[in-house]
Structure 1
């Protein structure tokens, strides 16, 4: 499955989930460490965004990473399936950086269920 297939909106997208996937880098070789350290500024937490493509952030310690993304879903899709799609995106993003992963843990929020409290109401 390609990244564009994973990211493709379901035919009748009605919900959007905000998902945070946390994981650890698998043991890294010297070349992998050097490559990740050279790119660390581009993956600083202050650059993190929730987008459909997702954003990978990590610290120079290279122990763990965080992937943030928005995943559209149909009303019928189960949250577990949506999280699975986000984790697949996270794995692809980490591998694109030249690393591997372990110990993924994810948290999702259905943005349609968030209630905005306005002052004075």
Structure 2
């Protein structure tokens, strides 16, 4: 078994061809999907605003390090696409930003004097 890394992935996309029912459901839940909903988790957290133009979905993905960022992005995009399709919401133009938490450098500041 190869080494596992934890990735934080932000999947962004554009709402597309939303039905009246989808628009109504999204607008009814918009307050639950604002800035305060921005957390990373395995199931992801969906954020969008009342304009219903763009959305983002934040995921935590654990994957083989050898597969790299590309695999983490593909997994997260698949999760987002599957969830949106299951909800019946139209979308397009998924793209991802990936951060490998296991290779991230942290600059600690010295103690205060």
TM-score category of the 2 structures, normalised to the smaller one: 0.7 to 0.9
Does 2:82 correspond to 1:92? yes
| Superposition TM-score, scaled by structure 2 size | 0.88
Distance 1:92 1:58 in 2: 18
The corresponding residue for 1:106 is 96
The corresponding residue for 1:46 is 36
CA contact (8 A) 2:45 2:57 kept: yes
TM superposition outliers: structure 1 runs of 4+ over 3 Å: none
Distance 1:97 1:37 in 2: 14
The corresponding residue for 1:6 is none
Distance 1:120 1:52 in 2: 34
Distance 2:110 2:68 in 1: 36
Does 2:73 correspond to 1:83? yes
Residues 88-116 of structure 1 deviation map (CA, whole Å, 9 limit, x = unaligned): 11112323443021011111011111112
Structure 2 stretches lacking a partner, 5+ long: none
Does 2:6 correspond to 1:16? yes
Deviation at 1:13, TM superposition (A): 5.5
Specify the SS of the correspondent of 2:105.
coil
Distance 2:92 2:84 in 1: 11
Structure 1 stretches lacking a partner, 5+ long: 1-10
Give the count of matched residue pairs: 111
Does 2:58 correspond to 1:71? no
Distance 1:65 1:54 in 2: 13
Residues 59-98 of structure 1 deviation map (CA, whole Å, 9 limit, x = unaligned): 0111111010110011222321221100011112323443
